[in-house]
Amino acid sequence: MKQHTTRMTLTIDNKTVTADTGASILDVARQNGIDIPTLCWHEQLSPHGGCRMCIVEVEGLSHFPTACTTPAADGMIVRTHTAQIREMRAEILQLFLSEHTASCLVCDEQEECREYMSTVRKAGVTTGCRYCPKDGQCELQAVTESLGVRDIIYPIYYRGIPVETEDPFYDRDYNLCILCGRCVRMCQEVRLADVLAYKHRGRDAIIGPAFARTHLEAGCEFCGACVSVCPTGTLREKARAWEGAPDREEITTCTFCGVGCQVRLLVKEDRIIGSLPADDPTVNQGQLCVKGRFCNTELVNGHQRIRHPYRRENDIAWDVSWDAAFELIAEKLRSSAPERTGMLVSSNLTNEDLYVAQKFMRVVMKTHHIDSTARLFYGSGFSAYLTLMDRAVPLSAIRDASAVLMVGLDTRFSRSVVGVAIRTAMKRGIRMFTLHSREHTFSLNADVWLQPEVGEEYRYVEALVRLAAGEDVTDRSIPADMRVRLADVARALSESDSPVILVGAEFLQYDSSRAFLAAVAQLADHVGAGVLTLPAQNNLYGSLLSGSFPELLPGMRPTADAARLQKLESLWGTSLTGLTDAWNADHLLRDDCAMQFLYAVGALPPVHRGAAKFTVFQNMYPPEPYCSADLVLPTAAATETDGSFLNGERRVQRVRRAVAPPGIALPDWDILCRLARHMGAEGFAFTRPEEIREEMAQVIPGFGEAEIDARGILPLAFDAVMHVSGNGTAQRPPDSDHPFILHSSVVEHTHRGFPLAAWVEGSRILFPEGVLDISAEDARALGLRDGDSVHVSGASFEEIYPVRIVRQQPRGALHASILESALTHPNPQPVSVRKADV
Amino acid sequence: MFSEEELKQVEELKSHYPTNLSAVMGVLHMYQDKYGHISDEGITYVANLLEVPEENVLGVVTFYEMYHQHKTGKYKLQVCTNVSCMLRGSDMVLQTIKDKIGIGIGEMTDDGLFSVHEAECLGSCGTAPMMSVNKDYHENLTPETINELIDALKAKG
Ligand code: SF4
Ligand code: SF4
Ligand code: SF4
Ligand code: FES
Ligand code: FES
């Protein structure tokens, strides 16, 4: 047999070891259980050789090379812990410590401090004078301990740099920075975001963005990847500082968008203290966006979480027991006609919650009146979106693509893991195009930026379709330079073997969305592109699959499918003939909506008082003031229940309970099952989500435990027709009375109907809801400053918004991020603006 | 900011390297030769020209002593203060300059003729102490030769 030539043999600390060629001395040592101290090295990053902690002795070399950057070689004789090396390491470490202000590291009282902390004495003694929020988790601390350094012979140099706290989610105290450069490499090599660099040198050296920019101004995505790799307390998560080490971790699926990243929840004393990316090769590749990384902890820990069911009447609220709540609902339901009963669910719920919810409505209430609030998000483009979504290719298609077209997608704060995948592919040399009316993350580094006027996006896609079909585009309303760019993009897409089109949520609420989505589908057909829709709702697919729409039965079959109905009848042991399906969520916003009973599992849009006689509101947080809920039920967050989600690729992934819900809150499926049992219904004896899944598997092929563990892509096809509303009113050009054009997008950063900005402090800065973006020029002309209130009036509405001056906003155009319910048509529409009187 | 001619030079520079990042220093030199110093706008301009992050260009500018971020005099007195020169009298050189024209490191004379800068080793240790005036080296400095040099430059104007 041929000798394996890629192995080498060397000696480390008198031990003979073998390794693959290409490995560094450090790699080989660690593979063989020999520990060499390191500070600047990190497994996700390229070796740097900056901290010199890992110096070793190599026989035959006159200097001491760093183990992390020196390739091991056949026959090498390495010594890692000689007295001389240990002394040199201690010396270098002292140099670090002389510029590091955490005196705890070398404090004489170190041991006693910990031991006597619990005695009742002065604060500094009982709590320990801890200067660093990373205490107990700091790598510098660990190395100091392991090298036994207890004294610093050098004078202490305190740099006195003010702590930077102005950015959301994490603070920076560069007095603690050891310039290991992990954050810089993370941002530049892995995230490819280029926000951080080294500035100045010697004792003035500091990390940060160019000039005096804040991270927000420098284009930071707040992915927190730099914070995760910082070995010291320099970069610290605001919400997690001082929390200490977690007791345990739990891997689950992020609930904030259809990408479905795998998240590692950090748990301490039955409380979530943080969330970090899981090491996942399939979906997020060890990355997260700002929502998965930072928003989770605050959202689930809010002290205003509902803990107890309560009844509301005439502005008075009082707690009730679960039994009393169930009895009240049962009584109201008994007196409600099926055609005037409805349930609204959020597409953020688990598959199991959604399945039980629709079964409850169909079996107990004898109606198909269950609908997802997602319908309101997508408006008139709903059906077109679902059809497009059905063509979804796996996320890995981006990795294999030869050209990518992004339409209406800005990956800065949402789906930024997809942004990282695209930038990685671009490094490989693929062509990248973006179609967006505003400046965004990719507008400058894409090969071509197609920049239509607001509301004209669909015409650009239609032009691409014609060009791809070999026709000319003579549309004079598209500027000549853009026509050249369009031709370039169409050619590149046609010539590419495996193009991918990524659809963002940006233009989905425009009146042109139906035309836009149809054109995207046509374009994909013409150029043979895969499509990735990346829905804003993490479990939009799951809500289709579980049948939580009046048009759909479990397994994504149309309600009219006789065979499926029959199967369900025998499975559920009940008749499903003659059930009403005339109602959906759109009706709630109509004046003639007069339900007797409305059950909202998740959000409830502002509806007129008469829209429902009795309303149950089941959620994590109390209802908005406008919401006329009569009974409020506390529900478990996604971190407090077991279940599964189906992401935008149709990949089924597990949701795991990491902590207990607050108070006596219960998971949604459990509440509904208990209610059904209270009402004497059969078929709701589920006590665990597995049992629900067992039943689901009988109508949904591939929905077994094994498939969920394998995180497989479910073989599903969507062929139902969904009812859409929306008037599609044509857009009018601005006139002298209405000189501005206002376009509204529904904020996609929501959870169970609440904008994250309502419960997560940092999101108020990154993605506020209900603010009006205006260009600096327009603001100046109107005499407006950031945060001023303005009166906006158009043909169909009048509204007061606070303004936000945004550099990227084109002149003459205004942009509002609003909740579904605040959406008015036409969209975009011409409006006038004036400063509101104070 | 760069002329057609200069832009061609930039292209030429770029062609020497596998990545544009490597051309940053050369282009910064061109910029500084033209404008005397590299302002924030200059950093942005060079970054955009080479399609590299501003962060990296700023990092280079602030790292090397030879790039100046503030306005400099017509004659840049760049005094080496590294080990050899320090041992052989760079303090004397700085003091002599200060006595003669009244300015120290980081300062510029009111007439804009001189500015004084600290330089890292300029590779002329054998003839320490030394300084470079713009691109010319002046070596084995003594108080006398420094005074003569400054007088000569003043006379030239
Ligand atoms: S949060 Fe992310 S984008 Fe921002 S500086 Fe850190 S690594 Fe870079
Ligand atoms: S901020 Fe942290 S990761 Fe970055 S260089 Fe300093 S110590 Fe290293
Ligand atoms: S990209 Fe989506 S799934 Fe991933 S962390 Fe962000 S919100 Fe969560
Ligand atoms: S770990 Fe090797 S030099 Fe820092
Ligand atoms: S130390 Fe001054 S030239 Fe080298």
pLDDT tens column, A544-593: 999 999 999 999 999 999 999 999 999 999 999 999 999 999 888 888 88
Residue type, A535: P
CA A645 to CA A407: how far, in whole Å?
Answer: 25
- pLDDT category at A731 given cuts 50, 70, 90 is low
**B155/chain A closest Cα distance in angstroms:** 36
CA A639 to CA A264: how far, in whole Å?
Answer: 11
Residue of A330, A144, A146, A136 lying closest to A241 (CA atoms): A136
Q: How far is the CA of A30 from the centre of ligand 2 (A)?
A: 23
Residue A756 sits at φ, ψ, to 5 deg, of -55, -30
Residue of A433, A389, A720 lying closest to A530 (CA atoms): A389
Q: Which of A121-125, A385-389, A467-471, A606-610 has the lowest mean pLDDT?
A: A121-125
Mean pLDDT of A759-773: 91
CATH number for A397-532 (one of 3.40.630.30, 3.40.228.10, 3.40.50.620, 3.40.50.720): it is: 3.40.228.10
Mean pLDDT of A494-515: 91
Fold exhibited by the domain B75-156: Glutaredoxin (3.40.30)
Give residue-wise pLDDT tens across range A380-400: 889 999 999 988 899 999 988
B56–A contact, CB cutoff 8 A: yes
DSSP state of A150: -
* Residue keyed to tokens 């309502």: A758
- pLDDT category at A459 given cuts 50, 70, 90 is very high
| pLDDT at position A5 | 57
CA A318 to CA A311: how far, in whole Å?
Answer: 5
DSSP state of A364: I
- Give the ligand whose atoms come closest to the C-alpha of residue A233: 2
- Residues of chain A with C-beta less than 8 angstroms from the C-beta of B54: 210-211
B63–A195 CB contact, under 8 Å: no
- CATH number given to B4-63: 1.10.10
Is residue A602 within 8 Å of residue A370, measured between CB atoms? no
Size of interface A-B (CB pairs under 8 A): 33
| pLDDT at position A728 | 56
| pLDDT at position A255 | 96
- The pair of structure tokens assigned to A776 is 């600096």
Task: List residues near ligand 4 (CB under 6 A).
Answer: A 38-41, 49-54, 66, 68
Contacts 24+ apart (CB under 8 A), A29-34: A29/A67, A29/A78, A29/A80, A34/A80
- pLDDT category at A125 given cuts 50, 70, 90 is very low
Q: Which of A27, A51, A180 to mutate to test the pocket of ligand 4 (most atoms within 8 A of CB)?
A: A51
Phi-psi region of A498 (alpha: psi -120 to 50; beta: other; left: phi over 0): beta
Give residue-wise pLDDT tens across range A137-159: 889 989 999 999 888 888 888 88
- Give the ligand whose atoms come closest to the C-alpha of residue A289: 3
B63–A209 CB contact, under 8 Å: no
A475 versus A240: the higher-pLDDT residue is A240
Is pLDDT of A321 > 80?
yes
**B54/chain A closest Cα distance in angstroms:** 6
- The pair of structure tokens assigned to A75 is 């026959």
Instruction: Nearest chain A residue to B39 by CA: give it.
Output: A211
**Architecture category of domain A740-835 in CATH:** Beta Barrel (2.40)
Instruction: Look up the ipTM and state it.
Output: 0.76
Mean pLDDT of B96-104: 96
CA A163 to CA A175: how far, in whole Å?
Answer: 8
CA B100 to CA B81: how far, in whole Å?
Answer: 19
CATH number for A310-380+539-710 (one of 3.40.50.740, 3.30.365.10, 3.40.640.10, 3.90.550.10): it is: 3.40.50.740
Mean pLDDT of B78-90: 95
Mean pLDDT of A178-192: 96
Instruction: Report CA-CA distances (Å) from A330 to A325, A365, A603, A676.
Output: 9, 11, 22, 9
Q: What are the extents of the domains in chain A? A: 7-81, 310-380+539-710, 397-532, 740-835
Instruction: Nearest chain A residue to B56 by CA: give it.
Output: A197
Is pLDDT of A803 > 80?
yes
- Residues of chain A with C-beta less than 8 angstroms from the C-beta of B53: 188, 194, 197, 210
- The pair of structure tokens assigned to A235 is 């970069």
Task: List residues near ligand 5 (CB under 6 A).
Answer: B 80, 82-85, 121-125, 128, 130
B63–A contact, CB cutoff 8 A: yes
- pLDDT category at A196 given cuts 50, 70, 90 is very high
Is pLDDT of A124 > 50?
no
Instruction: Report CA-CA distances (Å) from A250 to A272, A353, A658.
Output: 10, 21, 6
Q: How far is the CA of A201 from the centre of ligand 1 (A)?
A: 22
B56–A197 CB contact, under 8 Å: yes
**Shortest CB distance from B55 goes to which of A197, A201, A445?**
A197
Instruction: Nearest chain B residue to A197 by CA: give it.
Output: B55
Residue of A509, A508, A462, A514 lying closest to A722 (CA atoms): A514
- What's the per-residue H, E or C state across A677-699? HHCCCCCCCCCCHHHHHHHHHCC
Q: Which of A770-784, A785-799, B23-37 has the lowest mean pLDDT?
A: A785-799
Mean pLDDT of A799-807: 90
Is pLDDT of A664 > 90?
yes
Residue B65 sits at φ, ψ, to 5 deg, of -65, -25
| pLDDT at position A510 | 87
CA A443 to CA A454: how far, in whole Å?
Answer: 15
Chain A residues within 8 Å of chain B (Cβ atoms): 188, 194-201, 209-211, 218, 445
B59–A194 CB contact, under 8 Å: no
Is pLDDT of A823 > 90?
no
A211–B54 CB contact, under 8 Å: yes
- What's the per-residue H, E or C state across B47-110? HHHHCCCHHHHHHHHHHCCCCCCCCCCCEEEEEECCHHHHHHCHHHHHHHHHHHHCCCECCECC
**B154/chain A closest Cα distance in angstroms:** 33
Q: Which of B55, B56, B60 to mutate to test the interface with A (most CBs of A within 10 A)?
A: B55
**What stretch of H or E contains A229?**
helix A225-229
**Shortest CB distance from A201 goes to which of B40, B43, B63?**
B63
Burial class (CB in 10 A: 0-12, 13-18, 19+), A63: exposed
Mean pLDDT of A718-729: 74
Q: How far is the CA of A766 from the centre of ligand 1 (A)?
A: 14
Q: Are strands A341-345 and A370-372 parallel, antiparallel or unpaired?
A: parallel
Is pLDDT of A201 > 90?
no
**Shortest CB distance from B59 goes to which of A198, A218, A445?**
A198
Q: Verify cis geometry, omega within 30 degrees of 0, for the bond prior to A277.
A: no
Burial class (CB in 10 A: 0-12, 13-18, 19+), B19: exposed
Residue type, A263: V
- Residues of chain B with C-beta less than 8 angstroms from the C-beta of A199: 58-59, 62
Is residue A653 within 8 Å of residue A262, measured between CB atoms? yes
Q: How far is the CA of A70 from the centre of ligand 4 (A)?
A: 10
Mean pLDDT of A407-423: 94
Tell me the H-state helices in A150-191. 182-185
CA atoms A546, A382, A290, A789: torsion sign: negative
| CA-based radius of gyration for chain A | 29
Tell me if A187 CB under 6 Å of ligand 2.
Answer: no
Q: What is the mean pLDDT of chain A?
A: 91
Q: Which of A5-9, A196-200, A517-521, B89-93 has the lowest mean pLDDT?
A: A5-9
| pLDDT at position A115 | 66
Give residue-wise pLDDT tens across range A613-650: 999 999 999 998 888 899 999 999 999 999 999 999 99
Is pLDDT of A472 > 80?
yes
Phi-psi region of A14 (alpha: psi -120 to 50; beta: other; left: phi over 0): left
Give residue-wise pLDDT tens across range B129-145: 999 999 899 999 999 99
Is residue A569 within 8 Å of residue A576, measured between CB atoms? yes
* pTM for this predicted structure: 0.90
B41–A contact, CB cutoff 8 A: no
What is the residue with the minimal CA distance to atom 3 of ligand 4? A49
Which residues make Cβ contacts (< 8 Å) with residue A806, sequence separation at least 6?
A773, A774, A775, A815
What is the residue with the minimal CA distance to atom 6 of ligand 3? A289
Mean pLDDT of B36-60: 93
B62–A199 CB contact, under 8 Å: yes
Instruction: Nearest chain B residue to A218 by CA: give it.
Output: B55
- Residues of chain A with C-beta less than 8 angstroms from the C-beta of B57: 210
Q: What are the extents of the domains in chain B? A: 4-63, 75-156
- The pair of structure tokens assigned to B135 is 């691109």
**Shortest CB distance from A200 goes to which of B40, B56, B62?**
B62
Mean pLDDT of A122-144: 72
Q: Is the domain A7-81 a CATH 3.10.20.740 member? A: yes
